[in-house]
């Protein structure tokens, strides 16, 4: 759907459209005080899931853009003007998020990572949840692209993972989903569910990661045990499988290196 039509559906004033970056999984425009997200063929429920995730983060004390409209065709949100990075504020915000202790692993509503829908539902055992509800679905979707790496990934996740307990996680927390805005940082494009915080830490250390000033403060506020640090490459494989699924074999060398670090 054209973004102007989405604004009409939301009964909001129309503004000239300006394309924005960050549209790997769709198209993003600024329209005056609004940001409009659409996709030519979105999975059913994608934008509503994003809206629910943003609201869950907001309830947890995280700054996010306000959502004005969500439908199968797109999303209309608040435009937050860019500002200077505030790594201390971001570290405090994320340490607080990761210290929340929900009752189980998973999410009762629909969950997407990018456009890939993940199984919903909750359970108490992390090892079985992670393998059955997170790794196995994306592994099956990418199996034909993985070649000899597929059995190595499958075998790796049959080994137990260290645990800290359920936390509320953003679910796709790379630097591109942090908006350095006026008044402080905000989070975008969540894949919110209840999981081990190592899932977020893995993405936060992948693709260049967050800078040293952030980690200096975060580690003081919420120290990361050595066994969790060592397990992060295993969690990074989850994100690399999704990248192979959407963007193809160019991510296979990185997946192979990460498998080596995880073994």
The SS3 call for residue 12 is coil
Q: Are 198 and 134 in contact (CB under 8 A)?
A: no
Count of CB atoms situated within 10 Å of the CB of 25? 19
First-to-final CA distance of the chain:
45
Count of CB atoms situated within 10 Å of the CB of 108? 11
Tell the burial category of 170 from Cβ atoms under 10 Å away from its Cβ (0-12, 13-18, 19+): buried
Tokens representing 202 are 């893995």
Catalytic residue among 108, 172, 189, 200: 172
Q: How far is CA 211 from CA 149, 176, 200, in A?
A: 31, 13, 15
The SS3 call for residue 126 is helix
Q: Are 64 and 57 in contact (CB under 8 A)?
A: yes
Quote the distance between the C-alpha of residue 1 and its chain's center. 24
Is 86 tagged catalytic? no
Count of CB atoms situated within 10 Å of the CB of 229? 13
Active site positions, annotated: 172
């Amino acid at each position: 759907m054209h973004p102007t039509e989405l604004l009409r559906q939301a009964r909001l004033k129309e503004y000239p459209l300006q394309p924005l970056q960050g549209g790997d999984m769709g198209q993003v425009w600024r329209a005056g005080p609004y940001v409009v997200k659409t996709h030519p063929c979105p999975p059913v429920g994608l934008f509503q899931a994003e809206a629910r995730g943003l609201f869950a983060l907001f309830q947890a004390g995280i700054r996010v853009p306000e959502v004005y409209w969500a439908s199968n065709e797109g999303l209309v949100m608040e435009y937050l003007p860019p500002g200077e990075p505030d790594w201390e504020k971001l570290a405090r915000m994320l340490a607080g998020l990761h210290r929340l202790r929900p009752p189980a692993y998973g999410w009762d509503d629909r969950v997407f990572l990018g456009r890939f829908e993940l199984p919903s539902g909750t359970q108490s055992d992390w090892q079985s949840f992670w393998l059955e509800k997170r790794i196995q679905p994306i592994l099956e979707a990418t199996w034909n692209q993985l070649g000899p790496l597929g059995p190595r990934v499958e075998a790796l996740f049959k080994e137990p993972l260290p645990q800290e307990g359920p936390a509320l996680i953003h679910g796709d927390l790379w630097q591109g989903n942090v908006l350095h805005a006026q008044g402080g940082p905000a989070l975008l494009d969540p894949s919110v569910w209840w999981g081990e915080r190592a899932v977020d830490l893995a993405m936060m250390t992948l693709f260049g990661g967050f800078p040293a000033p952030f980690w200096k403060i975060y580690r003081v506020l919420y120290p990361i045990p050595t066994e969790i640090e060592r397990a992060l490459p295993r969690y990074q494989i989850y994100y690399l499988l999704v990248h192979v699924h959407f963007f193809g074999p160019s991510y296979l060398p990185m997946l192979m290196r990460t498998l080596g670090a995880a073994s």
